[in-house]
Each structure stands twice: as structure tokens, then as C-alpha cells.
Amino acid sequence: MKMASNLTGNGRAIWTVQAVRQLGLTTDVETAGQILGIGRTTAYALAKAGVFPVTVLHVGRRYIVSVSDLLHVLNADQP
């Protein structure tokens, strides 16, 4: 489930720390890419190459990102 606080004029999400925390334990690589300002195609390419900025688990055909790791990269892992 994607959740953002606001949308910009071009429809892109503006992610807040609170909105990221509300994602739960994990999210998909596309959402993680949006949060980090990375486009969908680039996010999947980085995940496939093993160089996405956050550790990505490849489960079946899905790429899964830990929200706590994402918060850590954003320097927002402190409550």
C-alpha cells in the first residue's frame, strides 16, 4: 500500500518520515525508489544489479525492501 502525504503538481508523491513508517515492515522496490527519488525503471535496474542504496531481498519475482533499512538511509531511524 502506497501512502504519501502530498502530491506535487506533476503527481509525484512527497514522502514524509511518518508516511514511510506507516508502510509497515517492508515495501516494494518501486515505492522505495520513489521515497529515495529514483525512478521505477532505474530502481529495478539497480536492484537487479545489486547496487540499490538499500538492501533488497529478491523473493520469487518480487524485490522487497526493509522499511527500517530505508529509514536508516534517510537518517530517520530514530523515533
Task: Answer whether 0.85 is exceeded by the pTM.
Answer: no
Rounded to an integer, the average pLDDT of 30-55 is 96
For 60-76, write each residue's pLDDT tens digit.
Answer: 999 999 999 999 999 98
Torsion, Cα 56 45 72 26, to 10 degrees, reads: -50
Res. 1: pLDDT tops 90 = no
Rounded to an integer, the average pLDDT of 22-38 is 96
Which candidate, 56, 58, 62, 25, places its Cα nearest to that of 38? 56
